[in-house]
Amino acid sequence: MKLRLRRYYFKKGVMRNRTISLSSDSGDEDDIPLKQIKQNKSKADPNAYDNLRKHSIQACEFCDRISNNRYSSLIHNASHIIIPLLNQKVVQCCICLHSFTSQAELRSHSIRRHPELPVEKIPVRTESGSGKKKVSQSTTILLEDEPNVITLGTKENGSATEPIKNRLKFEDDDLIFVSSTSNQLLNDLTTDCKVNLEVFDTPWLNGDGEGDEFSGKSVHYDELIKPGVYRCKKCGKGFPFRYDAIIHETSHIKLKNSQLSLCVICKKYLVGGRKDLRHHYLTYHKETIDKKHNTPDSEFLPKIFEDSTEDKRTFDSKILSLCDLCFSFCRNKSSMNYECTQTVSKIGKRYECEKCGQLFFEINLVKRSLQRRALYGTHTQKKRKKTNEDRLKTIANRFKMMKH
């Protein structure tokens, strides 16, 4: 393969060229690799981001605003797009400029916010979007209850040539407030999913009886966020989007409590928590509880003991058998106090620690007492701040426990 290179050089003000020929075989290692030049696809696409950002003067078709590039022009033109989705009457209070969809809501607002003015003399502004252009009229009218204020301009037989406003259909045209149960609120949450539901005992899940009542089609998210007036089927609260109404309706769905509690007296399991268990005790075992509180029990009375006894109990106190390592972890708190009363040791006898369960020749009898009045009054001791030495001691004791 022969390559000819042309070199330009200057000599005494005269530009000359020289041709150099190079020859090489295809199997030689010094072959010059040929690089393929990539074509820029963005130049061919006029809607690419780089081409949209190029400097070009663009004028808006609606307001004749001049933009420096096509991208900013498209963003500005999107602000002129207005799609009328609802043909409804809006009532506005001229004092605080709050808008309402019915005269009843405006009446309650005026009574709550403007009690100093009579109801008949409150200025009201009504706006209607039924025509092609938005018409605003400012009038002073009497506040009367109008249950059907929102009117939806929809037709049953709408062709493709009609405007989009006349071809829109809304599901809550009548705005009927239905006091339904929590099971009917699952209407908007069910979809046409082919799942085998034979394991359930509920008839509407199995498809028997009234199963068709709960069947519905899946809804796209764009349809759920279309503006409108949607009412809750349980409490009648209004929402601007259907998605918000569905989320609110789920708050009315109540599931039965599956918590189980055991009655110690009759050995029966009850469905519910502490309140249900307490109601069960007061209903069926009230006499048993009163009798138990009236008769004294020897376990709750203080016992007189000697120093040699190992199992020692006093009122609101207990004697524990602890080793030296476990006793070091006992901290005096505001409601609990630990005190070493005696060290017991006998020749040839091992004592078991109640904390770790190991056997020792020497054991400490620690008195643990409850301080019931420690949290009341000005005599309470403030909790001492933990220092670095205390933290190091705690870490050292943990390492000792790991060795054992």
The model's pLDDT over 48-105, given as tens digits with 9 standing for 90+, comes to 888 888 888 888 887 878 889 988 888 888 887 766 555 567 788 888 878 787 888 8
Question: What pLDDT does 377 receive?
Answer: 47
* 80-89, 149-158, 316-325, 392-401: least confident range: 149-158
Question: What pLDDT does 174 receive?
Answer: 44
Give domain status of residue 404, yes or no.
no
Closest CA to 345 of 357, 359, 363, 327: 363
Question: What pLDDT does 255 receive?
Answer: 64
Question: What pLDDT does 373 receive?
Answer: 54
Question: What pLDDT does 248 receive?
Answer: 92
* 89-93 and 124-128 strand pairing: antiparallel
Find the mean pLDDT for residues 235-246.
Answer: 90
Give the end of a domain, one of 232, 252, 272.
252
Question: What pLDDT does 35 receive?
Answer: 56
Question: What pLDDT does 137 receive?
Answer: 41
Task: Identify whether residues 233 and 275 lie together within a single domain.
Answer: no
Task: Identify whether residues 277 and 234 lie together within a single domain.
Answer: no
Give domain status of residue 233, yes or no.
yes
Closest CA to 188 of 92, 265, 253: 253
Task: Identify whether residues 284 and 315 lie together within a single domain.
Answer: no
In 158-264, the DSSP E strands lie at: 227-231, 238-241, 260-262
Question: What pLDDT does 177 receive?
Answer: 43
* 35-39, 58-62, 243-247, 369-373: least confident range: 35-39
* 72-86, 111-125, 178-192, 227-241: least confident range: 178-192
Task: Identify whether residues 323 and 367 lie together within a single domain.
Answer: yes
158: pLDDT strictly greater than 50 = no
Task: Identify whether residues 244 and 264 lie together within a single domain.
Answer: no
Task: Identify whether residues 181 and 220 lie together within a single domain.
Answer: yes
* 204 token code pair: 């509407």
Question: What pLDDT does 29 receive?
Answer: 52
Length of the chain: 404
Task: Identify whether residues 327 and 281 lie together within a single domain.
Answer: no
Task: Identify whether residues 176 and 248 lie together within a single domain.
Answer: yes
Task: Identify whether residues 197 and 175 lie together within a single domain.
Answer: yes
Task: Identify whether residues 220 and 265 lie together within a single domain.
Answer: no
More confident residue, 118 or 386: 386
Range ranked top by mean pLDDT from 182-191, 210-219, 316-325, 337-346 = 337-346
Give domain status of residue 12, yes or no.
no
Give domain status of residue 114, yes or no.
no
Give domain status of residue 41, yes or no.
no
Task: Identify whether residues 187 and 243 lie together within a single domain.
Answer: yes
pLDDT bin (cut points 50, 70, 90) of residue 380 is low
153: pLDDT strictly greater than 70 = no
Residue 75 sits at φ, ψ, to 5 deg, of -65, -40
Give domain status of residue 244, yes or no.
yes
Give domain status of residue 33, yes or no.
no
Task: Identify whether residues 283 and 342 lie together within a single domain.
Answer: no
Give domain status of residue 88, yes or no.
no
Cα separation, 56 vs 259, whole angstroms: 70
Q: How many domains does the chain have?
A: 4
Cα separation, 320 vs 239, whole angstroms: 65
Q: How high does pLDDT run on average in the chain? A: 68
Domain that holds residue 57: 47-78
pLDDT digits (tens, 9 = 90+) for 9-25: 544 444 555 544 444 45
Cα separation, 314 vs 320, whole angstroms: 12
Find the mean pLDDT for residues 346-368.
Answer: 88
